[in-house]
Amino acid sequence: MSNNNNTVPGSLAGIRVIDASRVLGGPFCGQILADHGADVIKIEPPMGDETRGWGPPFVGDAASYFIGVNRNKRDVCVDMTQAAGQELLLRMLEDADVFIENFKIGTLEKWGLGAEVLRERFPRLVHCRISGFGADGPYGSQPGYDAAVQAMSGLMSVNGEEGGKPLRMGVPIIDLVTGMNGVIGILLALQERNKSGLGQFVEATLYDSGVSMLHPQLPNFYLSGQVPQRSGNRHPNICPYDAFETRTTELFLAVGNNRQFATLCKVLGRAEIASDPRYTTNALRNQHRDELRDTLVALLADKDGLQLSQQLVAAGVPCGPVRTIDQVVDDPHTHHRGMIVDLDGYRGTGSPVKLSRTPASYRSKPPAFAQHTDEVLAELGIDAEAYAHVLPRKPVL
């Protein structure tokens, strides 16, 4: 069951985060921190976070895309293109531990609020910038978008059917991993601040994150000099590690060692295959993977995939049926692990990080536009009326 109990302070309770990011990487980073107890204040621009309109489906003024990465946050809208809005941001940062932003590189500098200025004014602040490529280098300051960076980083080149064209991953994997890398950087900086008393600048880029995920393709290339190619569901280093049709459902076999392979053959009623000279080691199985696949296809064709997967897992062979999203949501184990969150009419995806004493909690559903402006400014001792001209209460279209 999901943990909706907010009586236990999270591991980041007492940490205040100003999240001025939009779209996915930065907001996902902020939500992870919020789930674990940080007070995350989301600052939206006058037109709102563009993902509010990335639907259908919609609930109120927000699309599912926005709803998926903005829970547990309070929401303020500030027009930071105006001097008063920039002044207000500085006042909000006075009491903050972390600042997350993904402005176009050069924007903060144009406003006189670059990383150096913030470091001098707020020496304890951890400033996390999410960007496409970083500020310098051949691609420096270029905007980054998940699909484009999937292409540029090489991820698409190894994703797709053998002999087919490169394919984008079915989820915005680079945006999500960049958000996670942002969290890692922030937590490292906060840990170091405990010793030095100083914050620092943290950078997580889409490009770096994309390149970092090329395992084992990059190590393979470093050693062999051969450019990795697309191989469908096949693993480039392990065999058999692939999807197979059964009579009822597609089954993915992830056989990682000789013992598991021998067990697979035994469960399939052909124990002698494991001692075939072509298949006694992983290296040999890779050399003869086509013949081995043909043999397994024939053996699996009349099996009940779900029943066989349960039998194989019980015997110690990693595998699983290839399922659809609705089947995952309906699975009792998904709920048992707290991966479905239901809160006041909101349904979301739970935190995969489980802490025994200070677990994640789900305290508030994603905020409406500028919902907490008065509340947040009052807490900070800021007169909202004095800044009314830079505090839109409805999206400026």
Structural domains in the chain, CATH included, are 16-213+338-390 (3.40.50.10540), 241-329 (3.30.1540.10)
What was the pLDDT predicted at 8? 81
pLDDT digits (tens, 9 = 90+) for 202-213: 999 999 999 999
Q: How far apart are CA 219 and CA 208, in angstroms?
A: 16
Report CA 87 to chain centroid distance, whole Å: 32
CB neighbour class for 220 (10 Å; exposed up to 12, middle 13-18, buried from 19): middle
What was the pLDDT predicted at 78? 98
Of all residues in the chain, the percent with pLDDT exceeding 90 is 96
Write the single-letter amino acid at 216: P
Which entry of 19, 175, 208, 242 is annotated as an active-site residue? Answer: 175
What was the pLDDT predicted at 5? 56
What was the pLDDT predicted at 1? 42
Q: How far apart are CA 255 and CA 239, in angstroms?
A: 7
What was the pLDDT predicted at 60? 86
19: annotated active-site residue: no
Q: How many CB atoms sit inside 10 A of residue 181's CB? A: 22
| Contact of 106 with 141, CB cutoff 8 Å | yes
**Per-residue H/E/C for the chain:** CCCCCCCCCCCCCCCEEEECCCCCHHHHHHHHHHHCCCEEEEEECCCCCHHHHCCCCEECCEEHHHHCCCCCEEEEECCCCCHHHHHHHHHHHCCCCEEEECCCCCHHHHCCCCHHHHHHHCCCCEEEEEECCCCCCCCCCCCCCHHHHHHHCCCHHHCCCCCCCCCCCCCCHHHHHHHHHHHHHHHHHHHHHHHHCCCCEEEEEHHHHHHHCCCCHHHHHHHHCCCCCCCCCCCCCCCCEEEECCCCCCEEEECCCHHHHHHHHHHCCCHHHHHCCCCCCHHHHHHCHHHHHHHHHHHHCCCCHHHHHHHHHHHCCCEEECCCHHHHHHCHHHHHCCCEEEECCEEEECCCCCCCCCCCCCCCCCCCCCCCHHHHHHHCCCCHHHHHHHCCCCCCC
**What is the gyration radius of the CA atoms in the chain, in angstroms?**
25
Q: Which residue's entry shows tokens 């109990």?
A: 5
Q: How many CB atoms sit inside 10 A of residue 97's CB? A: 23
Which of the residues in the chain have pLDDT under 50?
A: 1-3
